[in-house]
Structure 1
Amino acid sequence: MSKRKKTRYPVEVRATRLTSNKHIANTEKFDKAMRLFDRVTALKNRMSAYCFAHLRDLITDPYAFKAQYKAFNNNADLNAWETQSLFHEVVDFYVNSYQQRMERKQIFVQGSWKKTRYQKNLYRKPKAGEYSEDGRILVHAKGDIKSFELIRRKTHMTGIVKYLCYMNLDTFDPEHMTNTTMQAVLLFCRHYHPQRWQRACRVARAIQDRMIGSMKPIHFTSGAHRRHPVESKSLVVEDQSNGQYRWWYQLRLGKGKEAEFIRLPLLFNAQRKKPEDLRLDAVHVCYVRNGSQFMVGATYEAPPLEFSPTGIGIDTSVGIDVNTKNNLMALSNGQTYDYDRSAISALILLVDKITRNGTPNLTFRERARWEKLCRVNEWRIKRIIHDMLDALQAAGVTDLMVEDLDMRGDATFLEHHALKIKYSRLLRLLRLSHLKDWIGSQAEKRGMRMHRTNPAYTSQECPECHFVHRGNRTTQEVFACMACGFSGPADTVAACNTRFRVLADVPRGPSALLHTFDVYGRAVPKPIARSRLKEIVEKKLHQSVSPGHFTEPLGPGSTNKVGTNTPALVKDKAPSHSR
């Protein structure tokens, strides 16, 4: 009899923090710890100045430049390992800053100019001292040039230049590349078009010079640094003889034979994680918050996630669509959850007042108030998610389907009519790019799986016949299929499509068309082009699903218990259009 193979769940490492402050610790010892972090802050700024002075060498070969940490080993507070890790972090800050600048850099070829002309004469009223017979003065005549627009285009050479911008051009050789596809392109250009290759290298080097020249020195205000319990002998210790505080942090001051050890009592939230469960032999982070709290960031191994043993079913799954105009979240069962519009309006007014009409420099008090507003707004959104998940858990829901949205780079000129704010700015204020993470973390605590799916065409797909077209959603509020006449609330339809895609892909298992599934059975979208995804949704995804899989009501009806205020989805008797 063969043994049953057990499922090996991945070990997840999570972070927690232990706190000490000047009210519970010895005042003299606590002040010594604060002075230590002031000296570490000054050390980080000296490292930053050194990196900025040798910025080209750092960008050229960051790995080799990190060996320069030995120039700072003469400090009296950190040992060699701590100095090395601190220097590596400072170098990584500059490398990440440079890479972010390169990612935002647009490389294009100038095509032509597009001129816009005035279609009619433009007049203005005469000012004091000006005279006009007809009471108006011609400003721009018909046919005058109104504006110029540069036509930009990308070519194969712009792609080569963009790739070379990330390389060290002094030592780069395409012969030793591991990316065979890009290697073939570069070698072809170098051998058959040597003049273009040389020009591409010159342009890439010039772009690198401009990016390096535009960088500014990084100034650190925190003395946060990492310590290893074995290397530094700074660690969390237990003292059962003390009747008031059981857990202490042993902090090393200085190094070598002159090292001094002080102990600071630690506070922790026993409901979240106990110190007994911490990985006391792992690297931890020491830092100070608000100048009055000593913090220790430690790690622990989280237990395997526990989900409902039942499979994904129609009655136990709900799709969620995230919005900003009409509501915050729309569910496939017809329910909607919205944010407090009056609170957001007050938040916008305060933000405009704090930022001084776009001035980027904030005072310390304004920065603290801005951070407080963000925390309050985040708490409100998380509270809405908490109430929603409580209601779904009471209804027996075990699986949630959400769109895998990435709103960090969204930019638009469209304005929210009620709040008088751009949608892109509203997304940042509501922090909706973190919404799926907040839903996932709270759902896992309740034993509910969260599945992610590709958001493309969820608002344009008909849940009845799966016809995908932009004309299906002519307005933000109403969905009307051009093929079968199916109509309903657009946000609810998008939530239903999000849910149906996962349900239709689950029976295929490893052969799923749009998703992959982890050891817990959670769906993750595959990287697929939009044109390919549209073809799969319309022709292949729902072929193996039974004909009656969409017969349940999507809104309130005779058998729906959601409520009577939510608009129902109805099927209009409209002539069908050929696809």
Structure 2
Amino acid sequence: MQVKLMPDAVQAPTLERTLPAINEAANWVSAVGFEGFGLKASVRELRKLCYGELKMRGFGAQAAQHIIKRVADAYTTLRVNIRSGNLGPEGSKRRRKAEAKPVVFRPHAAHTYDDRCLSWNYDAKTVSIWTLGGRIKEVRFASSPEALKTLTEHRKGESDLVFRDGKWFLIATVDLPDPEVFEPKDFIGVDRGIVNLATTSDGDNHQGRRLGRHRRWQARKRAEIQAKQSRSAKQLLRKRARKEARHATHVNHKVAKDVVAVAQRTERGIALEELRGIRERVTVPRDPRARLSSWPFRQLGAFIEYKARRAGVPFIEVDPAYTSQRCPRCGHTERGNRRTRATFQCRRCGLAGPADHVAGVNVRNRARSAWVFVTMPEPVPT
């Protein structure tokens, strides 16, 4: 859960000195660990090499431990990504580049605080936080009454200090209990796409035309700004990129909220296509490549999943193969069934309709079959 910090004129400069200094120290620890152990640096080894120096630089014991742990966690994540192939096969340019240099942290990258370095006063809506200039108290934060209640009852663990667009935020971890998932009467199949962000088996269509127009407008503006090649132009480009990402996130939140609300009201589950790795599996021509790369399908799926969990709505992912080419009435599957991107017509039985709606119906039908196996009790060994 994110809350906005509102430091005063005395507190803000202290925070502004602290976060870059923390990340500068993290870069030093990363360089030392990479020189000594490559990508295999662990918390124990980094602590032996760097803890004393961090203390001499003015970092408290707990702050020094967090810096070391952040660096070790970054190398652990990098090793996992290499092993899983997320950076390409062995010898690829991207993988060689990642393996050839230490992990680098941005000057204002988020830093983790635990309850020893950060304490909350919910009644006064203030926090006390460690900085290089000492602990600063009574830093005000803003939150809605609902968010404050959630923080008071469910906050647990660490919080991240974030500096974004000139504003300070705390992202706190809350441990919400999962509500009991009801037994669905049926399922809503959701087909995700580029032109239509989401089309349900009920025929509800959440179009992506406005988001597409917004992205094309932003692309034209980026081209104009990039032509100037100035320092202020680069800063403006970064600001615009964040603004575009926030707009796409807002649209996905609205779509996910609508889908989950319908499922909860009608006591049905939600089924999505399992689309992980689609960018690696699908080859597209050069012109629409940018549209595919900026397609926020994974974020939309994640939003629907977590909103469904919070509402107690059953959620399942199904095999996406041929959902837009299979006839839901007779089962005939053929590429020719989908004559255009938008239309479907079965060449065997003649069933016709919007292709995305047909795909949503196929997703729903697969969820009906798959849910039986998900809820089936395990056989008792004899």
Give your verdict on TM over 0.5: yes
Displacement of 1:288 = 3.5
Aligned alpha-carbon RMSD (Å): 3.9
The one of 120, 124, 128 aligned to 1:250? 128
The one of 90, 97, 115 aligned to 1:229? 115
> Distance in 2 between the 1:33 and 1:334 partners?
51
TM-score by length of 1: 0.54
8 Å CA contact 2:184–2:267 kept in 1: the answer is: no
> What is the letter of the counterpart of residue 59 of structure 1?
L
Q: Are residues 267 and 428 of structure 1, via their aligned partners in 2, closer, same or farther at CA, if it must alter by over 3 Å? A: same
Q: Are residues 511 and 351 of structure 1, via their aligned partners in 2, closer, same or farther at CA, if it must alter by over 3 Å? A: farther
Displacement of 1:413 = 2.9
Q: Are residues 101 and 364 of structure 1, via their aligned partners in 2, closer, same or farther at CA, if it must alter by over 3 Å? A: farther
> What is the letter of the counterpart of residue 128 of structure 2?
Q
Which residue in the other structure is 2:23 paired with? 41
Displacement of 1:373 = 1.9
Which residue in the other structure is 2:192 paired with? 322
Displacement of 1:39 = 2.8
8 Å CA contact 2:39–2:99 kept in 1: the answer is: no
> What is the letter of the counterpart of residue 286 of structure 1?
L
- 1:376-400: CA deviation from partner (whole Å, max 9, x where unpaired): 2332343344455556666x35322
Displacement of 1:367 = 0.4
1:19 aligns with 2:1: no
> Distance in 1 between the 2:88 and 2:356 partners?
36
1:334 aligns with 2:203: yes
The one of 273, 284, 287 aligned to 2:159? 284
Which residue in the other structure is 1:406 paired with? 276
1:451 aligns with 2:316: yes
The one of 60, 78, 81 aligned to 2:59? 78
8 Å CA contact 2:222–2:237 kept in 1: the answer is: no
- 1:220-263: CA deviation from partner (whole Å, max 9, x where unpaired): 21264333324x4x41135x6xxxxx1322234569xxx65533
> What is the letter of the counterpart of residue 32 of structure 1?
T
SS of alignment partner, residue 266 of structure 1 = strand
SS of alignment partner, residue 370 of structure 1 = helix
Q: Are residues 457 and 346 of structure 1, via their aligned partners in 2, closer, same or farther at CA, if it must alter by over 3 Å? A: same
SS of alignment partner, residue 272 of structure 1 = helix
Alignment of 1:484-495 (within 5 A): 484-495=349-360
> Distance in 2 between the 1:344 and 1:270 partners?
35
Displacement of 1:429 = 2.8
Displacement of 1:368 = 0.5
1:299 aligns with 2:183: no
8 Å CA contact 1:407–1:427 kept in 2: the answer is: no
> What is the letter of the counterpart of residue 84 of structure 1?
Q
> Distance in 2 between the 1:501 and 1:508 partners?
11
> What is the letter of the counterpart of residue 321 of structure 1?
D
> What is the letter of the counterpart of residue 106 of structure 1?
P
Which residue in the other structure is 1:439 paired with? 304
> Distance in 2 between the 1:363 and 1:509 partners?
50
SS of alignment partner, residue 56 of structure 2 = coil
The one of 256, 260, 269 aligned to 2:144? 269
> Distance in 2 between the 1:342 and 1:299 partners?
36
Displacement of 1:443 = 4.2
8 Å CA contact 1:101–1:211 kept in 2: the answer is: no
8 Å CA contact 1:401–1:453 kept in 2: the answer is: yes
Which residue in the other structure is 1:215 paired with? 101
> Distance in 2 between the 1:430 and 1:105 partners?
21
> Distance in 1 between the 2:291 and 2:167 partners?
34
> What is the letter of the counterpart of residue 250 of structure 2?
W
8 Å CA contact 2:190–2:198 kept in 1: the answer is: yes
1:313 aligns with 2:189: no
> Distance in 1 between the 2:190 and 2:167 partners?
42
8 Å CA contact 2:270–2:316 kept in 1: the answer is: yes
> Distance in 2 between the 1:508 and 1:38 partners?
52
SS of alignment partner, residue 414 of structure 1 = coil
> Distance in 1 between the 2:252 and 2:55 partners?
49
TM-score by length of 2: 0.78
1:59 aligns with 2:39: yes
Alignment of 1:457-476 (within 5 A): 457-473=322-338, 475-476=340-341
- 1:124-167: CA deviation from partner (whole Å, max 9, x where unpaired): xxxxxxxxxxxxxxxxxxxxxxxxxxxxxxxxxxxxxxxxxxxx
Greater share of helix: 2
- 1:299-356: CA deviation from partner (whole Å, max 9, x where unpaired): 222133255x4x4334xx321111224x332222333221225434323423444555
Q: Are residues 72 and 219 of structure 1, via their aligned partners in 2, closer, same or farther at CA, if it must alter by over 3 Å? A: same
Larger radius of gyration: 1
SS of alignment partner, residue 271 of structure 2 = strand
Taking CA–CA contacts closer than 8 Å with sequence separation of 6 or more, which of the two structures ends up with the larger relative contact order? 2
Q: Structure 2: give runs of 5+ residues left out of the alignment.
A: none
Displacement of 1:94 = 4.2
> Distance in 2 between the 1:353 and 1:511 partners?
58
8 Å CA contact 1:322–1:329 kept in 2: the answer is: yes
SS of alignment partner, residue 457 of structure 1 = coil
Q: Are residues 412 and 352 of structure 1, via their aligned partners in 2, closer, same or farther at CA, if it must alter by over 3 Å? A: farther
Aligned length: 370
> Distance in 1 between the 2:185 and 2:305 partners?
19
